Structure 1
């Protein structure tokens, strides 16, 4: 009888340990799934929503086209024959299985900051994704950029292989924000200007052009950046796709749709606090004096005002205050004050529909005016908006509008 009882107790203990192990494994995989959302893996690796992470998204770079690869566990065309060490090398060093060099369109210069435990959980999750047999020719760059060995020189000049080190003088939430912004969320990949080699240029987080959209200044600069936003307003933008100043469009719409709307509130606030404190940048990057606006007697401003009150004031109001939740506030809007007016020109020319999210499923839209406004007229009205109601920014020329019109016709 004692033997039977002992055997039963051992069996129960073994069952409990097995259940605990299964629960821990599930938690690791679920954490890995969340990490894939934080990193917005789907934005680059999902071309077909019915085949998640099977690759095929074209990434246009100044040097040519790259196509994001299949990262499902398919043995022939995905990561099925990879080991964790292969995956880690890809994520943190830009070295794929077999030793080939990746291009920094895969943001390993940011992912290099990821902790090993997060990499392992992300890898565990990717192993559970449904395998898809989808062969992708990733490198479609022209000669000589298609020679991957050139990346050895690029890495020597532009890549800092380092671990994330929390700042002991900063609170945990700011360090969490730093870990996300600088690493897995890779915000600088879009919002930091590029140098001539495609590496990080000067002016961290001060904005850059992505697919003919301006990824705006996200420093605490109150005139050109997000310094005029509150923490809650930045969280609202990332969670719902819009706030009183702006609605996410273009590449940022994809980021909100697939990624930031699903972040935890703690992570949203951590990212907002890190960005708004300017903890990761040189203080001088967000302390420039605001310029003086063009005089209302300026000929271009006067011409633009007539167009604005005829075509725009019905939605954005005569004082540029907009309609909360429907039409952005143009007055004292730091995103309008960027030196580069690409996004503003683009939405006037071609219109735009903001991102739809779970929180705001009905996305507001901006109609296109390029069909009946000339390049001069659009330049004038954009210049008027950029120099009214507390805004101040350089003029926009008809040539700027013509260049954007040509780019849109080529899409």
Structure 2
């Protein structure tokens, strides 16, 4: 009897221990999944996924944002877990292939509007976290036809050749000669942050000119400026604190974000951790083009400069000051800033014609507004005042052509 009871008690104890172990294991699994989803949410924000996959008035990640390219329109797809119109039938393996190879479920090639050329650098672990997060989003029924390009660009088989020219697959490999902080910054800028997608010039077929990484590019009517360490055209004069402040608040002592960059700060970079912000700043500060030479400015006696100075004194000086220094976090600085000195003046012309309002962030809930001058400045006057701005206070850049102002005005006129 004693042996029997001992056996029964021993079995009960073992069962209790087994159940306890299972509960602890389940809790550990739940905690791990929660941590993975939370990390995935942060990574999706870091990659600014919502900018392309969340259209105004539609649920989060339901797609529908139109990307205008020189070849026609592409539309961001629905990436909610809806099984009919979203990615509900995709597996983690399918998602990994999208990110690392630019291959959709079923084997079709994706267009470069989906920046898989940089997402290929994202680790499998980070992709798994993003995938886990996407599975928690409320499914939304929103059928999207991403490929709206005209013939022959709508033929996806042509992308095989495009990839051969423009795409090199492979995860990010840390540089052992650099610090962990630098490598983290490189991983973000070159990979999930896909900064080069906007800030790197494109070739004739829409691929990045890798030899001109981050030297600035024009997309959808805006110029994404040079963000290399070039002291004249880039951000070489900015400190790491300046870069962090810009990404965190949309403003620093040199510049105030506008257009798509203001949206990026509002929806993405203001939410980055301080560690990631500092890592990106360090990487950019130690980047290429740090020894570039400044060009010579247009002489002050040039008739365009004379006319532009008069217009600036009348219309612009009240906010931007006679020194071009502006007012920090209120009116943008014009002296020695990359946007002003950039090779492409598209954004400058656009802001003068259409005006601009800075995006709101948690750190800077209100921002300045630039009024439109299209109604009371002609094309020649805008060309003159911007030529003056681009060649004063230490700036040096090419003159603005009247025809370029006229051309952009037409695109902005309803």
- Deviation digits for residues 234-285 of structure 1 (CA, Å, limit 9, x no counterpart): 111111111122211111122111111100000011111111100xxxx4x4
Deviation at 1:297, TM superposition (A): 1.2
What residue number does 1:401 align with? 405
Q: Following the alignment from structure 1 to structure 2, what is the Cα–Cα distance between the partners of residues 296 and 48?
A: 46
Q: Following the alignment from structure 1 to structure 2, what is the Cα–Cα distance between the partners of residues 212 and 57?
A: 16
Question: Which residue of 231, 239, 249 maps to 2:248?
Answer: 239
Between Structure 1 and Structure 2, how many residues are aligned?
Answer: 405
Structure of higher CA gyration radius: 2
What residue number does 2:238 align with? 229
Deviation at 1:204, TM superposition (A): 1.2
Q: Aligned to 2:33, what secondary structure does the other structure show?
A: helix
Which piece of structure 1 moves more, 224-233 or 242-251?
242-251
Deviation at 1:139, TM superposition (A): 0.5
What residue number does 1:317 align with? 321
Q: Following the alignment from structure 1 to structure 2, what is the Cα–Cα distance between the partners of residues 333 and 146?
A: 40
Whether the aligned pair in 2 keeps the contact of 1:386 and 1:394 (CA below 8 Å) is yes
Question: Which residue of 60, 79, 102 maps to 1:71?
Answer: 79
What residue number does 1:123 align with? 131
What residue number does 2:352 align with? 348
What residue number does 1:183 align with? 191
Q: Following the alignment from structure 2 to structure 1, what is the Cα–Cα distance between the partners of residues 130 and 169?
A: 20
Matched, 1:252 2:253: no
- Deviation digits for residues 166-207 of structure 1 (CA, Å, limit 9, x no counterpart): 010000000011111111001111100000011112411100
Q: Aligned to 2:67, what secondary structure does the other structure show?
A: strand
What residue number does 1:306 align with? 310
Question: Which residue of 163, 173, 182 maps to 1:174?
Answer: 182
Whether the aligned pair in 1 keeps the contact of 2:225 and 2:338 (CA below 8 Å) is no
Deviation at 1:49, TM superposition (A): 5.2
What residue number does 1:379 align with? 383
What residue number does 1:392 align with? 396
Matched, 1:214 2:235: no
Q: Following the alignment from structure 2 to structure 1, what is the Cα–Cα distance between the partners of residues 143 and 66?
A: 14
Question: Which residue of 363, 367, 371 maps to 1:367?
Answer: 371
Q: Following the alignment from structure 1 to structure 2, what is the Cα–Cα distance between the partners of residues 15 and 68?
A: 42
Question: Which residue of 271, 281, 287 maps to 1:272?
Answer: 281
Whether the aligned pair in 2 keeps the contact of 1:236 and 1:242 (CA below 8 Å) is yes
What residue number does 2:146 align with? 138
Matched, 1:149 2:157: yes
Q: Following the alignment from structure 1 to structure 2, what is the Cα–Cα distance between the partners of residues 406 and 50?
A: 30
Deviation at 1:71, TM superposition (A): 0.4
Q: Following the alignment from structure 1 to structure 2, what is the Cα–Cα distance between the partners of residues 332 and 204?
A: 21
Whether the aligned pair in 2 keeps the contact of 1:45 and 1:68 (CA below 8 Å) is yes
Unaligned stretches of 5+ in structure 1? none
Whether the aligned pair in 2 keeps the contact of 1:316 and 1:322 (CA below 8 Å) is yes
Q: Following the alignment from structure 1 to structure 2, what is the Cα–Cα distance between the partners of residues 107 and 335?
A: 24
- Deviation digits for residues 338-377 of structure 1 (CA, Å, limit 9, x no counterpart): 1211111111111100111111110211111110011111
Unaligned stretches of 5+ in structure 2? 1-8
Q: Runs ≥4 in structure 1, deviation > 3 angstroms?
A: 1-6
Whether the aligned pair in 1 keeps the contact of 2:100 and 2:169 (CA below 8 Å) is yes
Q: Aligned to 2:212, what secondary structure does the other structure show?
A: coil
Matched, 1:39 2:43: no
Q: Aligned to 1:369, what secondary structure does the other structure show?
A: coil
Whether the aligned pair in 1 keeps the contact of 2:227 and 2:235 (CA below 8 Å) is yes
Q: Following the alignment from structure 2 to structure 1, what is the Cα–Cα distance between the partners of residues 81 and 15?
A: 40
TM-score (norm 2): 0.95
Matched, 1:290 2:294: yes
What residue number does 2:30 align with? 22
Deviation at 1:50, TM superposition (A): 4.8
Deviation at 1:399, TM superposition (A): 1.1
